[in-house]
Amino acid sequence: MRWVYTIVILLAGLFVLLLSMGAGLQRGEAQVLWAEGAVAEGTVTEILGRSGVMNYSYTFGYDGRVQTQSRRKIRGGAKETPIGSKLTVRYDPKDPSKSITQAELDEMEAWGNRFVFPLIGAALVAWALMRIFRPRRAAPPAASP
């Protein structure tokens, strides 16, 4: 049964590390988009959420068209950004469906997303490896009658 627990711990750690790597790649793309993307003025159209975690939607115009982004996750911040507020949007002119706001970028760069989840994944993997490579304890000698 020990091996089952060890494999579950290892798989959980690898899963968390994989998610962290994907988030890191998304963060890198978002940083490039924020630095090099075209600038547009957006308008907040919807705010949903509960304490701390919010989803907001916004629209922005480009080349005489309107692009809508729905339910983008951010923590906090949406309370200070009521519906109808203007915000700066950076987008890819070749694919305007790829867009980002400062609040979204801040969410991606939050310390939890950058450090906590990768550390949890690494700790789980290390724990599983310690369980695999730890020397077995010798069985206590049998009591003689």
Residue 43 CB partners (closer than 8 Å, separation 6+): 58, 59, 60, 84, 85, 86, 87
3-state secondary structure the chain: CHHHHHHHHHHHHHHHHHHHHHHHHHHHHHHHHHHHCEEEEEEEEEEEECCCEEEEEEEEEECCEEEEEEEEEEECCHHHCCCCCEEEEEEECCEEEEEEEHHHHHHHCCHHHHHHHHHHHHHHHHHHHHHHHCCCCCCCCCCCC
Contact indicator for 141, 109 with CB cutoff of 8 Å = no
Q: Is the pTM of this model over 0.85?
A: no
**What stretches in the chain show pLDDT beneath 50?**
none
Per-residue model confidence (pLDDT) at position 80: 66
Nearest Cα neighbor of 107 from 141, 63, 134, 75 is 75
pLDDT score, position 4: 92
Using CA atoms, how far apart are residues 23 and 114, in angstroms rounded to an integer?
8
Q: What is the pLDDT of residue 119?
A: 93
Query: pLDDT of 7-25, one tens digit each?
Result: 999 999 999 999 999 989 9
- Report residue 138 as tokens: 């010798």
Domain definitions of the chain by residue range: 2-133
Looking at residue 74, what is its pLDDT?
A: 80
CA 83 – CA 85 distance, rounded (Å)? 6
Q: What is the pLDDT of residue 75?
A: 72
Q: For residue 21, what pLDDT is reported?
A: 92
